[in-house]
Structure 1
Amino acid sequence: MVQEQLIVQNETGIHARPASEFVKKANEYESEIMVVKGEKKANAKSILGLLGLAAAKGDELTIIADGEDEQSALSAIAELINSKFGEH
């Protein structure tokens, strides 16, 4: 199991489009990927779960990956978040 704390950097937070990209990226990996925000926890492969976190700009998320490709999965998710989901 690997984990990393990341800050949501895009202006609009994780709304429908970024959540869709997040789920698409997470589903490329076999590992279980969880996203934690405060007391809330969501499966990164569930768009409704991610939207339920209501993650806004500046919120800290803990990404936890567990499985055979956990490091690759964590790196890819971190890159997606740090790229602001392509928003400028």
Structure 2
Amino acid sequence: MPERTAIIASRSGMHARPAAIFAEAAGESPVEVTIAMAGAPADDALDGASILSLMTLGAAKGDVVVLRAEGDGADAALDSLVTLLETDLDAV
């Protein structure tokens, strides 16, 4: 299963605005994307398309998260989502 790590760049972490932007992008991807804090068991991964899951993740600016997806288009989807997370979405 492809996975990528990303460092949260948004000043407010994964709160309302960044979570909404990320969830929308994850929901539009051709694969199901999960997200977890780095070091957390894969079983603890949350739905990347769920704003509520993203906000309960508790990821702050500078935290490292792991994105996972499987299926056709997983690599491209993950690359795009990493770029999104490593952008300050509060400034967009």
Map 1:6-25 → 2, pairs under 5 A: 6-25=6-25
Aligned residues: 88
Structure whose residues are more often strand by fraction: 1
Query: In the alignment, is the contact (CA less than 8 A) between 2:4 and 2:66 conserved in 1?
Result: yes
Consecutive unaligned residues of structure 1, counting only runs of 5 or more, are none
4+ residue stretches of structure 1 with deviation over 6 A? Answer: none
Within 2, Cα distance between the matches of 1:86 and 1:49? Answer: 19
Give percent identity, aligned residues only.
Answer: 32
SS of equivalent to 1:74: helix
Q: In the alignment, does 2:54 pair up with 1:50?
A: yes
RMSD of Structure 2 on Structure 1 (CA): 1.6
TM-score scaled to structure 1, two decimals? Answer: 0.89
Measured against aligned partners, the alpha-carbon deviations of 1:5-52 in whole angstroms (never above 9, x if no partner) come to 111122110101100001110011121111011434211011111111
Match of 1:68 in 2: 72
Tell me the distance in 2 between the aligned counterparts of 1:53 and 1:85: 17
Q: Which deviates further from its counterpart, 33-42 or 10-19?
A: 33-42
Distance 1:5 1:75 in 2: 10
The Cα of 1:86 is off from its aligned counterpart by: 5.4
